[in-house]
Amino acid sequence: MRWEGCDMRRGRKIIGELLPAGTLDLARGFSDNARRYLLTAALQNVGYGIIGTAFAIYIKDRGFSETVVGDVEGALALAGAVVCLMLPPLVTSVGYRKLMVFAGLALGVSRLGQAYAPSAIAIVGLGLLYGVGDGAMQTLSMAFLSENAGRGGRTRLFTADFVVKTSAMVAGSLIGGIVPMLLRPMIGEHDAYRTTIVLAALVMMSSGVTAWGITDRHLPGARGFSGWLATLRGFSSWGRVARLLVPEMLISLGAGLVMPFVALFLKHRLGATVAEVGAIQAVSSVAMALAALATPHLARRIGLAGTVVLTELASLPFLLSIPFAQSLPVAAVLFWLRGMLMNMSWPIYNQLSMAGLPPADKPLVAGWVRFGWSVAWLAGSSIGGRLMEQSYTTPYFYTAALYAAGAVATFLLLRRVRDEDHPHDEHPEGGGPAGVGVAVAG
E strand spans, 68-187: none
DSSP 8-state secondary structure symbol assigned to residue 20: P
- Supply the CATH number for residue 161's domain: 1.20.1250.20
H-state helical runs in 344-393: 346-354, 362-390
Task: Check: CB of residue 318 under 8 Å from CB of residue 334.
Answer: yes
- Does residue 226 form part of some domain? yes
For residues 41 and 245, what is the distance between their CA atoms, to the nearest angstrom?
A: 25
427: left (phi over 0), alpha (psi -120 to 50) or beta: beta
- Name the nearest CA neighbour of 295 among 279, 306, 282, 284: 306
For residues 335 and 330, what is the distance between their CA atoms, to the nearest angstrom?
A: 9
- Does residue 436 form part of some domain? no
- Does residue 120 form part of some domain? yes
- Does residue 323 form part of some domain? yes
- Does residue 430 form part of some domain? no
| Ranges of residues in the chain whose predicted pLDDT is under 70 | 1-29, 88-89, 92-93, 149-155, 217-232, 350-352, 354-357, 360, 416-442
Q: What is the pLDDT of residue 355?
A: 65
- Does residue 311 form part of some domain? yes
- Name the nearest CA neighbour of 363 among 221, 258, 256, 185: 221
- In the chain, the amino acid numbered 9 is R
- Does residue 198 form part of some domain? yes
The residue range of the domain holding 190 is 31-215+222-414
Strand partners, 422: 419
Helix (H) or strand (E) holding 312: helix 304-321
Radius of gyration in angstroms for the set of CA atoms belonging to the chain, rounded to a whole number:
21
* Total domain count, the chain: 1
- Name the nearest CA neighbour of 395 among 269, 220, 271, 297: 269
For residues 386 and 242, what is the distance between their CA atoms, to the nearest angstrom?
A: 30
- Does residue 370 form part of some domain? yes
What is residue 375's three-state secondary structure? helix
